Structure 1
Amino acid sequence: MLRILVLSAVVVLSSAQVRNCPDNDYGPRECTCTIVNLAGIDHRIIDCQGKSLPAVPAGIPADTFSLDLSNNAITELSADAFTSLNALEQLLLSGNQITAIPDGVFQSLEDVKVLRLNENGLTTLTNGMFSSLVALEKLDLDDNRIETITGSPFSGLARLRELRLNANRIINLPTAVFQGLAGLQKLFLHDNFITSVPSQAIRSLNTLIELHLENNDILTVGNDSFVGLTSMLNISLSGQPDLVEVQAFALRGVNRNLERLEIRDCPKLTILHEETFRDFTLLQRLDLSNNNISRLPKAALENLNRQALVTLSGNPWICDCRLSWLRDWMDEAVMNPDLLDINNVICDAPPKLKGQQLEIVNRFDLDDPDVCNLLNPAGQIGAGPVVVASLFSLFCALALSFAV
């Protein structure tokens, strides 16, 4: 599919006719004006990027198709900045110093499909802020300072397919924040300060196929966090410095369709529940690398798609009899050669196996009675549950013998 898309793009570009705009119809002199003809239709491209412009320049032709004002020094937008640009379909305002969006500034832009406002200084999103952009398909608000969101700023954007809110200062998302996004497919929220999966806010996004929550401050992924996301294919929860638990039924509702799941680089995540990945029959990629997981129950992975790529590297594995099932699984001929990232599953304990690849550890070493079941959950050799139980039984026996 990717190759087909690339070839299609090459054909389109090679068939396009590009020419400079005539002098009497050029637009702002500080900008570049070109006409691109595609399938017999002329598209005017006005490129003003990197010109140190303090404001949107005057004299932009009314038939402009694409306007690039990125990387300038624009601090504010006048209410009538784009009034005459009824043909505009792409507006690029990245890399300026815009701190607020005045009411009605996008009122005449009913055909705009792409709006980039990333790398500005926006702090607040207000109710209906973008509602007049009824044809919008992609909205980029990355790398701003957004921390306050009121009402439904994206209401009316039924055609929006991709929304980017990465690298802002968002802590909480109000329940109605995504109201009206009837066709949203990709939602990017990584590198914020979100403390929990915004379950109520995303519940109505039944067309969403991709959700990115990496590098936030999520503490627990609670049960039914993704209920309602019936089209979901890809979830990323990686890079949570304080994540301690993914609850047993956290992924209930998306498990039967999900194709990719990433929960990596979470240094406080130590355990996984047996039920968490149950019935993930279509999963193609599961990344659990670079966490602090030392044990993995067999039931956690036994119902996965057996051709899925599962990455377990970078965890402090305790290689004893309770992990012998994983060692056996690595030897199965039917497995995908990359399954379980087997070359990088390294033992952290017991001491005699520390640093060894689980793939090459002798099966009998895992069942060595001197270490099997003598490691407590913290990975230290000592009085584990079996030893404690044995000592308690011995104490009881001695007590009864003295009583007799």
Structure 2
Amino acid sequence: MLRFLVLSALVLLSSAQSTRECPDNDYGPSQCTCTITALAGIDHRIIDCQGKSLDSVPTGIPADTFSLDLSNNAITEIPAGTFQTLNSLEQLLLSGNQIAAIPDGTFLGLDDVKVLKLSENRLTTLTSEMFSSLLSLEQLDLEDNQIATVSGSPFNGLARLRELRLNINRIVNLPTTVFQGLESLQKLYLQDNFITSVPTQAIRSLDTLIELYLENNDILNVRNDSFVGLTSVLNISLSGQPNLVEVEAFALRGVNRNLERLEIKDCPKLTILHEETFQEFTQLQRLVLSNNNISRLPEAALKDLNRQALVTLSGNPWICDCRLSWLRDWMDEPVMNPGLLDVSNVRCAAPPKLQDQQLDVVDRFDLDDEDVCNLLNPAGQIGAGPVLVASLFSLFCALALSFTV
């Protein structure tokens, strides 16, 4: 972990006073800049070739180079063995090029590389063990490529990898063995793909994972036990699913007691959640359920939450009747975090008499009004379908009462 922090610090130190230019007789490629950065009394050679319109990796890179930046060039391919003599390299930056494939042997000799960035390239395929020679790798960035095909175990052998970015690609399905060998992975970025279901079988072995990002995919249902095996996870994001219709009652079973942050927002077809979904969330600090299509929230759904957790419910079409009176009372509790429930944006969509009113200022009597408190609600669910149906039912009841008088 210390070496990982050292690598991150190098970016900040590159302009520090301890940085000096390399000697003329030991400079490296003429197109690039060469600097020596002293860190903890040890000199590190930094070769910076970014933005030089290079169409290939330049020759003459000194063997003791610690960090090599080839970002934002026009490199299309890297022949096998290109970096084989760079035995001191710990950071290799190849983002913003036009690399479409990584042949076998590309990274031979890079036993000490900790950081590899290949974002914003044209990779389409990940094949079995293509990074296997990078035995010390801790951070791998494959963001914003065109990856659609993932086969075998492309990350097998990366036992020290802590962060893996596969976001902004074209992935639909992930094979069961895709994350095999990732014994230390802590952060997994899968957002902005075309994934249709939580890759339960693929991720179940990631017992060191802390953060999982799945937002902006095409997930239709989050099924029971979707996250089983993720015994260390603290943060899950499922937001931005345009077709998500259900999070099943026990979808989060196995992670609920440790989870600190959960986001399920911006899902316009999500009308139903279950009371059991948030049971035993005793460590939760942040729950975001904003901008969905949820209209009801039984009290039992949040009864096990940490009472100091920040819950965001804004942007949903709430049906404000007696079944939501508990939430109105909860907003007034003096022990609550002032920002809890994002009260300024929890607005009523129905019944008509309360439409567009903020729930925190609705009179408690109005919620208990018999003419209001007669909307149907399926037992055990958060959400009762489209608000329009509920509003029409309320209007029908009101008309029926007027005829009986």
Extract structure 1 runs of 4+ deviating beyond 6 A: none
Deviations 1:63-106 (A, max 9, x none): 00000000000000011211110000000000000000011110
CA distance in 1, matches of 2:393, 2:89: 72
What residue in structure 1 maps to residue 132 of structure 2?
A: 131
For residue 329 of structure 1, give the secondary structure of its aligned residue in structure 2: helix
Greater CA deviation, 103-112 or 334-343? Answer: 334-343
Deviations 1:160-214 (A, max 9, x none): 0000000000000000000000000000000000000000000000000000000
Deviations 1:303-337 (A, max 9, x none): 10000000000000010111011001111111111
CA distance in 1, matches of 2:239, 2:101: 31
Q: Which residues in structure 2 correspond to 1:2-401 (within 5 Å)?
A: 13=13, 17-374=18-375, 377=384, 378-379=386-387, 380-383=390-393
CA distance in 1, matches of 2:126, 2:222: 26
Give the C-alpha shift of residue 41 in structure 1. Answer: 0.8
Q: Which amino acid aligns with 2:351?
A: P
CA distance in 2, matches of 1:371, 1:326: 16
Q: Which amino acid aligns with 1:84?
A: T
What residue in structure 1 maps to residue 381 of structure 2?
A: none
Greater CA deviation, 367-376 or 185-194? Answer: 367-376
| Alpha-carbon contact 1:295-1:318 (below 8 Å) kept | yes
Give the C-alpha shift of residue 15 in structure 1. Answer: 7.7
CA distance in 1, matches of 2:39, 2:254: 44
| Alpha-carbon contact 1:195-1:219 (below 8 Å) kept | yes
For residue 152 of structure 2, give the secondary structure of its aligned residue in structure 1: coil
Deviations 1:105-125 (A, max 9, x none): 101000000000000000000
CA distance in 2, matches of 1:53, 1:84: 20
CA distance in 2, matches of 1:243, 1:167: 19
CA distance in 2, matches of 1:102, 1:114: 19
CA distance in 2, matches of 1:23, 1:50: 22
The count of corresponding residues between Structure 1 and Structure 2 is 382
CA distance in 2, matches of 1:101, 1:86: 20
CA distance in 1, matches of 2:335, 2:375: 33
| Alpha-carbon contact 1:374-1:382 (below 8 Å) kept | no
Give the C-alpha shift of residue 277 in structure 1. Answer: 0.3
CA distance in 2, matches of 1:15, 1:23: 21
Give the C-alpha shift of residue 9 in structure 1. Answer: 6.1
Give the C-alpha shift of residue 16 in structure 1. Answer: 6.1
| Alpha-carbon contact 2:81-2:108 (below 8 Å) kept | no
CA distance in 2, matches of 1:182, 1:381: 53
Deviations 1:13-64 (A, max 9, x none): 4986111001111000000000001122110000000000000000000000
| Alpha-carbon contact 1:16-1:37 (below 8 Å) kept | no
TM-score (norm 2): 0.91
Greater CA deviation, 337-346 or 375-384? Answer: 375-384
CA distance in 1, matches of 2:214, 2:58: 38
- CA RMSD after TM alignment: 2.0
CA distance in 2, matches of 1:342, 1:274: 21
| Alpha-carbon contact 1:66-1:90 (below 8 Å) kept | yes
Q: Which amino acid aligns with 2:257?
A: R
| Alpha-carbon contact 2:56-2:76 (below 8 Å) kept | yes
Q: Which amino acid aligns with 1:177?
A: V
Indicate how the Cα distance of structure 1 residues 16 and 209 shifts in structure 2: closer, same or farther if over 3 A, else same.
farther
CA distance in 2, matches of 1:274, 1:255: 13
For residue 342 of structure 2, give the secondary structure of its aligned residue in structure 1: helix
**Structure 1 unaligned residues grouped into runs of 5+:** 395-404
What residue in structure 2 maps to residue 398 of structure 1?
A: none
Indicate how the Cα distance of structure 1 residues 268 and 236 shifts in structure 2: closer, same or farther if over 3 A, else same.
same
Query: Which structure would you say has the larger Rg?
Result: 1
Deviations 1:229-277 (A, max 9, x none): 0000000000000000000000000000000000000000001100000
CA distance in 1, matches of 2:127, 2:210: 26
Indicate how the Cα distance of structure 1 residues 107 and 16 shifts in structure 2: closer, same or farther if over 3 A, else same.
farther
**Structure 2 unaligned residues grouped into runs of 5+:** 378-383
CA distance in 2, matches of 1:374, 1:110: 65
Q: Quote the sequence identity (%).
A: 77
| Alpha-carbon contact 1:262-1:288 (below 8 Å) kept | yes
Deviations 1:132-160 (A, max 9, x none): 00000000000000011111000000000
CA distance in 1, matches of 2:67, 2:181: 26
Indicate how the Cα distance of structure 1 residues 118 and 281 shifts in structure 2: closer, same or farther if over 3 A, else same.
same
CA distance in 2, matches of 1:206, 1:150: 22
| Alpha-carbon contact 2:119-2:141 (below 8 Å) kept | yes
For residue 341 of structure 2, give the secondary structure of its aligned residue in structure 1: helix
CA distance in 2, matches of 1:374, 1:172: 41
Asked which structure has the greater RCO (Cα within 8 Å, sep 6+), the reply is 2
For residue 79 of structure 2, give the secondary structure of its aligned residue in structure 1: coil
What residue in structure 2 maps to residue 402 of structure 1?
A: none
Q: Which amino acid aligns with 1:116?
A: K
What residue in structure 2 maps to residue 401 of structure 1?
A: none
Q: Which amino acid aligns with 2:107?
A: F
CA distance in 1, matches of 2:373, 2:99: 62
TM-score (norm 1): 0.91
CA distance in 2, matches of 1:329, 1:271: 22
